[in-house]
Amino acid sequence: MKIQFHNTLAGCIEPFEPIDPPNVYMYNCGPTVYDFAHVGNFRSFMIADVLRRTLELLGFHVHQVMNLTDVGHMTDDQLADGGGEDKMVAAAKRLKQAKKQGVAPVDNPDDPYQVAQYYIDAFIEDARLLGLKVSNEYPQNMPRATQYIDGMQEMIKKLLAAKHAYIASDGAVYYSVESFSQYGQLSGNTIDRLRSGAGGRITDEHQVVKRHPADFLLWKPDATHIMKWDSPWGAGYPNWHLECSVMATTLLGQDVIDIHMGGEDNIFPHHECEIAQTCGATGKELFSRFWIHARHLFINGEKMSKSKGTFYTVRDLAAKGISPVAVRMELVKAPYRMNANLTQQGLVDSARTVQRLRDFSTDLDRRCDGAVASVDLTHPALEAFGSALADDLNIAAAMASLFAWIQQDHSDAAESLAVLRQMDRVLGVLDLGLADNQEAGGDLEIAETCAAIDQARAQKEFEVADNLRQQLVDAGYEVHTSKGGTTARKKLA
RNA sequence: GGCCGCGUGCCCGAGUGGACUAAGGGAGCGGAUUGCAAAUCCGUUGGCUAACGCCAAUCGUCGGUUCGAAUCCGACCGCGGCCUCCA
């Protein structure tokens, strides 16, 4: 089976072959934990999840690491970020406000570690609701930046020793982009282009101490900062790019990894700087063989926006009656190299797809009495499904093959169930949050209403039955009447 | 201004030169089923025809290459990302 992915580093689709098969070492940039993660953030994490699951289906042993960025202030260029306020300070203010209103998420909002932990807990909860596999490996494969300060300092020392870094007159340590000839190879922002670039956000004041305007901060001495650590360069904090270089190489145990992922906005400067740092420290040609980037998510055709209130979190959507599994399906089925668009219609569509797969699964399960057969990738349906995904995660073609297969003969229910479960290793929707979606939802009141509907129908009191049914529908239930009686289950969206 | 991605039918999207029909899903319409619904199943969704058929048109726009273009090339239009906050 031909496995290929779009590699930002090469600018095209390339055959994928891990360095150390069957192991695959992949790292993806995780969330900053000074606020709740929104669905847009989760899109890129979901792409990483789908890629990981695809590789697992194809027989690889995937080692995935996703970081949690818990250092609020990550760069020297305060002027460029949200008015120069530290992210953790902003989060503390928000939480204090909440405390005044009687909600006390953390004991001490001024403690950035408590703030971070609060948002980490929320993130893990949301990630598990969405079925991100790596979230079940928390904390071992989901490291916090603040736990790797020593490693970051070690990397800075290596970079200083290798003359890739220098200490400027302001006492800060900078990376010298001119010392790294490959700088710009990922993003196309080579040094000469950056020089002529018109970003205009770096003020002269910041440039004065640097050897080159594009040099970026590695360590900032700042004794007044909310989060600071001792270092040979004074008490201060590391840059934002350093954590990924250090945690990826440390936790994956490799100088060169197979896949590095993130959102498209990470390409520059973040990933470009990661490459410069890691290769500068390891002396290797490459940091990651593949760089895979997910495009952004829109809401109703528009960019997500705070002022329009479209920074939806998983919990926001759940409050609107949209189950996490519907969100998962919606994020999974959108091609990762195009901007995706989250809409009500799309979510309902996705919810129906999930429901259809679950009903199919339930039917197979009943017919084979839960005795699942054993199948591998040589099975024609799985071959089609797997090879579609192996072709740069062509999820649309994979889903088409899945639906085509569903139309076929399933007299061997045990085998079909096995095939479906293999497919669901990637989709991850059959069992996700299933308890909330079962017949009657485990809710006694709902079951009683269903029984009342049946009773009314038996006595031909159709108006009574219809009213009861409408009550259930209004409450977000899907009501199903058959010869066996009436059942209801919570709609997924 | 520089670098880069994208534009397919009502919606989401597959499809990188050739089989008469542009995959698949959703939505719509018709039918089966139902007390009525929902769910499910079958059919269908350019126009005309009761029908056999007939006539078109189409992949952002305009050109080009080719026997042949959604697919390759050029220009333009539109949307988006990055150019030191960002998934």
pLDDT tens across A241-264, in order? 999 999 999 999 999 999 999 999
Query: Using one digit for the tens of pLDDT, what is the confidence trace for A49-81?
Result: 999 999 999 999 999 999 999 986 544 443 333
Average pLDDT over residues A298-327: 89
How does pLDDT run across A340-366, given as a tens digit for each residue?
A: 999 998 999 999 999 999 999 999 999
> According to the model, what pLDDT value does residue A199 have?
45
A459 residue type, one letter: Q
User: Which one, of A162, A50, A66, lies nearest residue A388 by Cα?
Assistant: A50
Work out the average pLDDT over A464-491: 91
pLDDT band for position A412 (cuts 50, 70, 90): very high
Q: How far apart are CA A480 and CA A487, in angstroms?
A: 5
Q: Which domains does chain A have, with CATH numbers?
A: 4-294 (3.40.50.620), 335-434 (1.20.120), 438-490 (no CATH)
CA distances to A55, A259, A335, A428 from A391, in Å: 11, 16, 12, 19
pLDDT(A207) > 70: no
Strand B close residues, chain A 156-175, CB < 7 angstroms: none
Q: What percent of chain A has pLDDT over 70?
A: 93
- Does the CB of A267 sit below 7 A from strand B? yes
Q: So what's the pLDDT on residue A393?
A: 94
Chain B footprint positions (protein CB, under 7 Å): 1-7, 11-15, 23-27, 34-40, 42, 80-87
> From the Cβ of A353, is strand B under 7 Å away?
yes
User: Using an 8 Å Cβ cutoff, are A408 and A21 in contact?
Assistant: no
Q: How far apart are the first and last CA of chain A?
A: 36
Three-class SS of residue A26?
A: strand
**Statement: residue A391 has pLDDT above 80:** yes
> Which nucleotide lies nearest residue A402, CA to C1'?
B24
A62 Ramachandran zone, left/alpha/beta (phi>0; psi -120 to 50): beta
* pLDDT of residue A200 exceeding 50: no
Write down the pLDDT at residue A76: 42
Task: Place A198 in a pLDDT band, splitting at 50, 70 and 90.
Answer: very low
Evaluate whether A173 touches A234 at the Cβ level (below 8 Å): no
A265 touches strand B (CB under 7 A): yes
Nucleotide nearest to A188 (CA to C1'): B3
Is pLDDT at A201 greater than 70 in this prediction? Answer: no
**How many CA atoms lie within 13 Å of A151's alpha carbon, on the beta-carbon side?**
20
A18 touches strand B (CB under 7 A): no
CA distances from A105 to A88, A91, A116, A138, A150 (A): 15, 12, 11, 21, 30
Quote the CA–CA distance of A116 and A91 in Å, as a whole number: 9
Q: Report the mean per-residue pLDDT for chain A.
A: 89
Average pLDDT score over residue span A270-297: 94
A85 has a pLDDT exceeding 80? no
- Whole-angstrom distance, CA of residue A69 vs CA of residue A241: 10
Q: What pLDDT shows up at residue A302?
A: 85
| CA A298 / C1′ B60 distance in Å | 20
For residue A157, pLDDT beyond 50: yes
CB-CB contact of A55 with A24 (8 Å): yes
A408, A384 Cβ separation under 8 angstroms? no
Neighbouring CB atoms inside 10 A of A197's CB total 12
- Dihedral, CA atoms, A235, A241, A243, A246, nearest 10 degrees? -110
Residue A160: is its pLDDT beyond 50?
yes
Give the pLDDT mean for A306-328: 90
**Residue reference for tokens 């297969």:** A405
* Strand B proximal to A27 Cβ, under 7 A: no
Q: How confident is residue A196, by pLDDT bands cut at 50, 70 and 90?
A: low
Residues 415-454 of A with CB under 7 A from strand B: none
Q: Is it the case that residue A104 has pLDDT exceeding 80? A: no
